């Protein structure tokens, strides 16, 4: 069977890229239910991919800090993490879940837990970790890496209906 030179080069290049060399970018992620995030983060951890936090990562999204090794995470100057107590719906309203909140706290690394504790712990009110405080806990990404990962029109359109995780 004849395979052209261009096809051989393309196949060889595809084989040279391992999943561990990929990078996930998180931006403008509003969070969601803990269970699906735990599953997604376990798959991301097992992939060996690096994570760039480049925008808002709120609520359940913040579990990335405990699920992914610190040396696989970097933050840009736009990174902003939002923390609050977990809740569950009950009789048409949001009720704080002590079990869910404890799960979140157990997941976070010690420096993040200490930062949260200094601000009164997890409550229904969102508290934000960004700037110098965040950069003191996680390495900053090189700015050129963040520029290479700017959103495309396709991912911007998808963002309206889905999570903002992408390659």
117, 83 contact by CB (below 8 A): no
Q: What percent of the chain has pLDDT over 90?
A: 64
pLDDT tops 60 at residue 149: no
pTM: 0.72
Report the alpha-carbon distance of residue 62 to residue 83 in Å, rounded: 7
Which residue did the predictor score with more confidence, 5 or 55? 55
pLDDT tops 50 at residue 151: yes
Query: What are the tens digits of pLDDT across the range 105-114?
Result: 999 999 999 9
Report the alpha-carbon distance of residue 97 to residue 85 in Å, rounded: 7
Q: Which residues, 6 or more positions from 59, have their beta carbon under 8 angstroms from its beta carbon? A: 30, 31, 32, 82, 83, 84
Find the range with the poorest average confidence among 1-10, 56-65, 87-96, 122-131.
1-10
Whole-number pLDDT of residue 115: 98
Query: What's the rounded mean pLDDT across residues 11-31?
Result: 64
Find the range with the poorest average confidence among 87-96, 97-106, 124-133, 147-156.
147-156
Whole-number pLDDT of residue 142: 77
Which residue did the predictor score with more confidence, 163 or 107? 107
Query: What are the tens digits of pLDDT across the range 33-67?
Result: 998 999 999 999 999 999 999 999 999 999 999 99
């Amino acid at each position: 069977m004849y395979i052209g030179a261009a096809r051989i080069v393309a196949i060889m290049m595809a084989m040279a890229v391992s999943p561990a060399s990929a990078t996930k970018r998180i931006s403008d992620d509003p969070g969601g239910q803990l269970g699906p995030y735990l599953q997604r983060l376990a798959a991301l951890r097992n992939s060996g991919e690096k994570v760039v936090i480049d925008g808002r990562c709120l609520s359940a999204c913040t579990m990335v800090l405990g699920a992914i090794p610190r040396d696989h995470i970097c933050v840009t100057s736009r990174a902003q993490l939002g923390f609050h107590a977990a809740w569950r719906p009950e009789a048409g309203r949001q009720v704080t879940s002590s079990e869910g909140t404890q799960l979140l706290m157990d997941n976070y690394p010690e420096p993040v837990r200490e930062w949260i504790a200094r601000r009164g712990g997890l409550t229904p009110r969102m508290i934000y970790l960004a700037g110098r405080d965040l950069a003191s806990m996680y390495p900053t990404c090189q700015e050129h890496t963040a520029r290479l990962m700017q959103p495309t029109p396709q991912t911007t359109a998808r963002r309206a209906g889905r999570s903002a995780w992408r390659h």
